[in-house]
Each structure stands twice: as structure tokens, then as C-alpha cells.
Amino acid sequence: MGKLHGSGAALLRAEVASSSPHQHAPNAQPAAAPAPAAGPHAGPAPAAAPAHPPAGPPGFKGMKWKWIQEHNKQEEERKQKEDAERAAREKEEQERKQAEERAAAAAAAAAAAAAAAAEAQRKEQEAAERAAQEAAEAARRRREAEEAERARAEKEREEAARREREKEEQERKAREAAAAAAAEAKKRAPPPAPAPLLLHDDFDDAVFTALPAAPPPPPREDKPPKKAPSRPVPGDKGGAGGKGEAGPEGKAGGKDRDKDRDKDRDKDR
């Protein structure tokens, strides 16, 4: 014999009460079974319980138990259906949550990948900007070095030109000084002595030739004039014929000097 569940037990109790010798009424209908409480997982409404079998002759008890078993079977099937629907809903909810979690994880991974790509791009851009700055700095230093080299070369050329000008100026001044000294020496030098005339062997006495002039004597040194004596010195041979009150010795000395000069001239001839 099966076990009664839910409204089946209530029907059985009502049936037993109706079959009591004190309360039995022919063709009495059992009380309606209470409706199951509605819940969040309530399934479809259970099928209406079959009508209570009417009271009858002997054999009615077996029919009642058959009806109870059928009712219990329907109740069990209803519960199994509810359990299956609840399990399907739970599975669907779990799958939905898993899908949401997977989507969130994928979104997070995509965001992380995008952030990593952006960071890599930022680093590449910074590296490119740094390389460009270094190249510009190197070019600037190279230009500065070239300008400094050009300035140094220009300064060296100007310095060499200045030294050359100074050297030429010094040489010019030296030449001018030498020319001035030569002119001054020439101005102070005595006039050259006339060249002696020699008689040529192949011609008559009237033909004479001039020999090359002798080189000029060295320039005289300017000496301070001698102080004239307070009185004439007797026997001075350098006198000019006895100026003033020169004695007889001075006159004789002057004449002797003239004679010697004439003798030398005759020898040269």
C-alpha cells in the first residue's frame, strides 16, 4: 500500500469520517482539497483530485485504495516536474552568471590589453621624442663646433695677416731708416777726389783717358772743434799761412806742405 502525500491524506481522513456509522450519508461528497501554497518555484497547478468514489457494497475499500495510489503517483510526478524545472532554472541562472563572469573577464582582459598597448605606444612615442631630441642636440653641438672651428680659423688668419702686416711695416721702416742713414751719410761724406789723368800709350799727348774713380772714403766722424789757443804756438805746421800773429816758423811750415803736395801730384802723373 502506498503512502499518502499532501491532499491525499486529507481526503482519506475525510473519507474515513464520512464512512463512520454515525456520520455516514449516502452519496455524500468529500470536502475539497486545500490548494497548495504558491511559492517562487511553484510549478503548474496540480490536477484536480478525482471525485470520491461513491459508497457502495462490499469491495468499495479496494477501489478507494486504488484511487489513493493513483493520486500519489500524480503528486510524485508533479514534484519531479517541479524539481526538474527548478534544476533547469538553476542551471540556466548558473550558466548566465558564468557567461556574465566570462564576459566580465574578457572585458577586463581586453581593457588590460588596451592599457598595455597604450602604455607601449606611449613608451614608443617617448623613445621617439627622446631620440629626436638627442639628434637635435647632437646637430646643435655639431653646428656649434663647426662655428667655433670657423671662428678659430678666421682668428688665426687675421692674426697671421696682422703679423705679416707688422713684419712688412717693420721691414719698410727698416728700409726707410737705412735709406735715411745712407742719405745722411752721403750728405756728410766729403766730395770724391778727381780722378788722375794718365797719358795713353797709343795716342799723342793731347789724348787722355780717365781711370775709374776710387771708392769714396769712409764717412768722417764728427768731432767737437778744438779750442783755439790763447796765443799762437811757434812752429805750428798745420797753419794756414800764418793767420793773425803767426811767427816765421808757421809761414815756413805752410809752404813746405804745399811743396810736398805738388811733388805727389807730379809722381801720379
Distance CA 50, CA 19 (A): 18
pLDDT higher than threshold 60 for residue 33: no
Q: So what's the pLDDT on residue 57? A: 45
76 in Cβ contact with 84 (< 8 Å): no
The answer to pTM > 0.85 is no
* Residue 34, CB-side half-sphere exposure with 13 Å CA sphere: 8
**Total residues found in the chain within this entry:** 269
The C-alpha cell at 231 is: 796765443
* Per-residue model confidence as pLDDT tens digits over 155-208: 999 999 999 999 999 999 999 999 999 888 888 877 776 665 555 554 444 444
* Per-residue model confidence as pLDDT tens digits over 38-58: 444 444 444 444 444 444 445
Q: So what's the pLDDT on residue 198? A: 53
32 in Cβ contact with 62 (< 8 Å): no
pLDDT higher than threshold 60 for residue 136: yes
Virtual torsion, Cα 99, 103, 108, 109, nearest 10 deg: 100
What 3-state DSSP class applies to 23?
Answer: coil
Q: Is 239 exposed, middle or buried (0-12, 13-18, 19+ CB in 10 A)?
A: buried
